[in-house]
Chain A
């Protein structure tokens, strides 16, 4: 079945780095745009970043620009989020999600999330 499984979360000190992974299965990964969305404890959803199906285009939200990098490895059916210079405001559950296209397609399948805590 179609599945996205995130991993790589944990507790990290402010200013440090962390890399999240999202393993895809049950569909042709290379056909899909992939997104990261996060949810701070007790808060709503915040879209973070996307990467196009061919890996050539990326967008991210202003609050992570210059600190977070999204990438994909289609040979491994895996999406990544490299996070650096982490702050307590980055603490959240991070979800990966897929979309059929770059424009005008919603996120139709989500992973279960991985938790990032930022604390000294």
Chain B
């Protein structure tokens, strides 16, 4: 199975900060990487797919980059609604696998 590793596990930031979350795959997944946002007690929401394509309804302050095994999610200016947990997920090979999550909380 492909292992997905996110860093950091927790990130403390302030409104307006630029935030970056990293995701590494244990083998190449080409461009088949998605990012999801999850708030407590809620279902995950698709933010980014195919590394850098914005999901429906996702704000433009979210962007993704990378290829192969190294990927990044960037929030250009953190907003109050962005405090949540973020997961990367590969959909190149079954079984699909997720990173362990990065919790973004208020500094």
- Chain B residues within CB distance 8 Å of chain A: 32, 34, 36, 38, 42-46, 49-50, 55-56, 87, 89, 91-92, 94-101
User: Quick one: closest B residue to A2, CB to CB?
Assistant: B56
A108 close to chain B: CB less than 8 A: yes
Among candidates B46, B89, B94, residue contacting A45 with C-beta atoms closer than 8 Å:
B89
Ordered by A's residue number, 22 sampled pairs between the chains whose C-beta atoms are within 8 Å are: A44-B100, A45-B44, A45-B87, A45-B98, A45-B101, A47-B89, A47-B95, A47-B96, A50-B94, A59-B95, A60-B95, A61-B95, A95-B44, A104-B32, A106-B49, A106-B89, A107-B46, A108-B46, A108-B49, A108-B56, A110-B44, A112-B42
- Chain A residues within CB distance 8 Å of chain B: 37, 44-47, 50, 59-62, 95, 104-113
B43 near A112: Cβ-Cβ < 8 Å: yes
Give the docked Cα–Cα distance between A57 and B34 (Å): 23
8 residue pairs, one from A and one from B, having the closest CB atoms: A110-B43, A106-B34, A47-B96, A106-B49, A45-B98, A61-B95, A44-B101, A59-B94
B94 partner residues in chain A, CB cutoff 8 A = 50, 59
* Known A59-B94, A108-B49, A112-B42; 13 more pairs at CB < 8 Å: A45-B89, A45-B98, A47-B95, A47-B96, A47-B97, A61-B95, A62-B95, A104-B32, A104-B91, A106-B34, A108-B46, A110-B43, A110-B44
